[in-house]
């Protein structure tokens, strides 16, 4: 048959198709009884019309997939084919079922080789996703098993999975992303070729949301606005807060879920002291820390007033025993505030400001996804991003402050690597400008950006947005969280899923012993 002669159409099966369906089933299933009676098919179409899918070629029925709805908990456990069938060959469709069960897939012998079965399976998967059902289950015959009398069913299945044996049904199912969940015994006793055995196969709907979570109306589209902030001389704390509020107002007017500021964006407040006083850098940074509490309070107020979550860059915080920390605050739009300390401190921060590193790493639940925050230098340590990814982080925010382009490129390249290896979004936000009158603010270099995983669903260079270098501006980016779910499960590569945990692992050390009770590592 020439490809030019094909005129394929995918549609739902109708009761008028029965005569063609019967002929097709009789031809394919001649070894196990042939076609279902007409009243069985009519009832199936009436009760679950969307699940009965057909492919026709110029009006000729050439492929069919028959499906019912079932209770997942019942049919993901051992069962027989007869458990699906009631009196008078009525197939037991459960209209409240949370899973689909694949009854049959039939392809006309003349049309094999055109991958029509794959089309039917893809249509089933799309239906499963659109109906928010948990999975597709199927009892798969193993019709070539009788040819290998020396193998147990488990050994046979393993060899099919390794492609050492081809089974017309199991090989096809495995090629279509189904996984063998268990072996079914006496599934279809009259199936002599399979000797009564079958595999229980499952395709998991990675986008499934339980009913209670659907009602929460969790967003799948998140909008982020990042401020490439210009360091400038300031006359007062109020003038800096006024500039902050200007940007929060502007970003919120675009219905953004997050407004992001850079690391130590309020550092120009050190310039309120004269240049001579600034020579004592430890005194200058402690002076800057004196503004932190009011900034945190005011930015939390803005988050509520403008209905936006704010990543408040980072600021200097005076902690226990009068120690200094570089801290990023997450100001939720519901009013509560959480924080992430910088863990790795640069030589300059240690030397001139005596900053200390924090000892806690967190993923934060927000109304727009699960997020992590790594401040500048921290993103250059890949272990941190991986620990956050293990806690299902969706978006990583990286407020940074770099003076030269080579310093910036270290942060940028590491941030982009974190997006790829952890299959998440990364928002990079820095500051620009030259302030010669303030020590350590002489020069800044930044090109803020938003990075994605590197796969077909994302831009070819894995860059969703980026600013003009060294120019004060705002960038916006829409982040699709559903794409993360898909790429983690079905991407061209699946970095998180494919890790060799049999060879290595990564743990966060428990520092609770600092407060008097040392515990084991977790």
CB 8 within 8 A of CB 55: yes
Residues 6+ apart with CB under 8 A from 188: 32, 80, 81, 139, 141, 194, 196, 198
- The β-bridge partners of 91 are 85
User: E strands, 334-466, where?
Assistant: 337-341, 355-356, 364-366, 369-373, 395-399, 425-429, 431-432, 449-451, 463-466
Per annotation, catalytic residue among 56, 263, 317, 349: 263
Active site residue 339: no
**Burial (Cβ within 10 Å: 0-12, 13-18, ≥19) of residue 228:** buried
Nearest 5°: phi and psi at 373? -130, 125
- Give the ranges where 222-328 is alpha helix by DSSP (H): 237-252, 275-278, 281-289, 292-305
DSSP E strands in 374-482: the ranges are: 395-399, 425-429, 431-432, 449-451, 463-466, 473-480
Give the Cα separation of 408 and 399 in Å (integer).
Answer: 12
**Active site residue: 376, 414, 424, 429, which one?**
376
Q: CA-to-CA distance for 295 and 346, rounded, in angstroms? A: 24
Backbone phi, then psi, for 296, in 5-degree steps?
Answer: -60, -45
Q: At what angle do helices 18-28 and 38-47 cross, to 10 degrees?
A: 110
CB atoms within 10 A of CB 151: 14
Helix (H) / strand (E) element for 156: namely helix 153-161
Q: Among residues 246, 402, 396, 248, which one has the least CA distance to residue 312?
A: 248
Catalytic residue check, 181:
no
Alpha-carbon span 179 to 34, nearest angstrom: 27
Q: How far apart are CA 134 and CA 210, in angstroms?
A: 8
Residue 238: C-alpha distances to residues 24, 245, 291 (Å): 79, 10, 11
Contact 519, 513 (CB under 8 A): yes
DSSP per residue over 160-210, as a string?
A: HHTTSS--TTHHHHHHTT-EEEEEESSSSTT-TTTTT-EEEEEEE-TT---
- 376 part of the active site: yes
Distance separating alpha carbons of residues 461 and 495, to the nearest angstrom? 18
Q: Which one from 128, 298, 331, 342 is the annotated catalytic residue?
A: 342
Give the C-alpha distances (Å, rounded to integers) separating 327 from 308, 338, 354. Answer: 20, 10, 14
b/e per residue 156-187 (b: at least 16 CB within 10 A)? bbeebeeeebebebbbbbbebebebbebbeeb
Closest CA relative to residue 132, chosen from 55, 43, 69, 66 = 69
DSSP assignment letter at 512:
G
Q: Which residues pair with 258 in a beta bridge?
A: 224, 309
Question: So which residues are the catalytic ones?
Answer: 263, 342, 376
């Amino acid at each position: 048959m020439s490809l030019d002669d094909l005129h394929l159409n995918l549609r739902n099966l109708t009761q008028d198709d029965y005569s063609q369906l019967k002929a097709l089933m009789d031809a394919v299933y001649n070894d196990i009884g042939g076609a279902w009676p007409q009243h069985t098919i009519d009832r199936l179409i009436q009760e679950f019309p969307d699940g009965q899918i057909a492919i026709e070629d110029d009006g000729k029925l050439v492929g069919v997939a028959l499906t019912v709805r079932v209770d997942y908990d019942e049919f993901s456990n051992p069962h027989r084919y007869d458990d699906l069938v009631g009196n008078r060959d009525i197939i037991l469709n459960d209209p409240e079922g949370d899973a689909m069960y694949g009854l049959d897939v039939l392809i006309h012998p003349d049309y094999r080789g055109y991958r029509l079965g794959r089309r039917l399976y893809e249509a089933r998967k799309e239906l499963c996703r659109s109906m928010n059902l948990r999975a597709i289950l199927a009892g798969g015959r193993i019709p070539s098993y009788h040819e290998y009398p020396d193998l147990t069913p488990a050994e046979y299945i393993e060899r099919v999975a390794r492609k050492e044996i081809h089974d017309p049904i199991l090989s096809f199912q495995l090629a279509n992303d189904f996984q063998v969940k268990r072996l079914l015994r006496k599934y279809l006793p009259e199936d002599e070729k399979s000797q009564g055995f079958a595999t229980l196969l499952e395709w998991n709907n990675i986008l499934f949301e339980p009913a209670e979570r659907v009602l929460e109306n969790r967003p799948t589209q998140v909008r982020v606005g990042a401020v490439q902030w210009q360091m400038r001389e300031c006359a007062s704390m109020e003038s800096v807060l006024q500039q902050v509020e200007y940007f929060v107002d502007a970003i919120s007017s675009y219905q953004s879920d997050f407004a992001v500021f850079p690391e130590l964006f309020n550092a120009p407040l050190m310039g309120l002291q004269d240049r001579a006083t600034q020579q004592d850098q430890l005194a200058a940074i402690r002076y800057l820390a004196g503004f932190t509490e009011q900034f945190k309070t005011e930015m939390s107020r803005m988050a509520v007033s403008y209905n936006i979550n704010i990543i408040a860059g980072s600021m200097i915080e005076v902690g226990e025993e009068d120690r200094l920390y570089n801290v990023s605050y997450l100001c939720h739009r519901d009013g509560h505030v959480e924080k992430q300390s910088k863990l790795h401190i640069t030589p300059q921060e240690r030397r001139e400001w005596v900053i200390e590193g924090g000892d806690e790493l967190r993923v934060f639940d927000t109304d727009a996804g699960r997020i992590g925050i790594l401040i500048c230098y921290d993103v250059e340590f890949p272990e941190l991003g991986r620990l956050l990814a293990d806690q299902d982080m969706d978006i990583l925010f990286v407020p940074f402050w770099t003076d030269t382009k080579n310093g910036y490129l270290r942060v940028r390249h590491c941030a982009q690597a974190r997006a790829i290896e952890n299959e998440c979004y990364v928002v990079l936000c820095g500051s620009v400008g030259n302030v010669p009158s303030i020590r350590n603010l002489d020069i800044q270099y930044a090109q803020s950006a938003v990075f994605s995983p590197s796969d077909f669903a994302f831009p070819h260079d894995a860059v969703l947005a980026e600013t003009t270098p060294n120019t004060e501006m705002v960038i916006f980016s829409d982040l699709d969280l559903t794409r993360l779910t898909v790429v983690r499960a079905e991407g061209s590569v699946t970095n998180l899923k494919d890790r060799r945990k049999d060879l290595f692992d990564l743990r966060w050390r428990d520092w609770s012993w600092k407060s008097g009770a040392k515990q084991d590592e977790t």
